[in-house]
Amino acid sequence: MITETRTTAGHRAQRQLPKAWWSLALFPVSFALAFVVGEGVPVLLTGTDASVTTPPWWVIAIALVSAAAIFASPLLLTLHYSNKAAAQHEPNARIPLILGAVLAGGFILSNLAGGLLVLLAG
In angstroms, the CA 51 to CA 55 distance is: 9
Structural domain including 69 reads 15-121
pTM attached to this predicted model: 0.78
In a domain, 117, yes or no: yes
In a domain, 5, yes or no: no
Contact 82, 96 (CB under 8 A): yes
Residue 100 pLDDT > 90:
yes
Q: Quick one: pLDDT band at residue 72, thresholds 50, 70, 90?
A: very high
In a domain, 91, yes or no: yes
In a domain, 85, yes or no: yes
Q: How many domains is the chain built from?
A: 1
Contacts with 86 (C-beta within 8 Å, 6 or more apart), sequence order: 93, 94
Taking only the tens place, the pLDDT of each residue in 14-45 is: 789 999 999 999 999 999 999 999 889 988 98
In a domain, 69, yes or no: yes
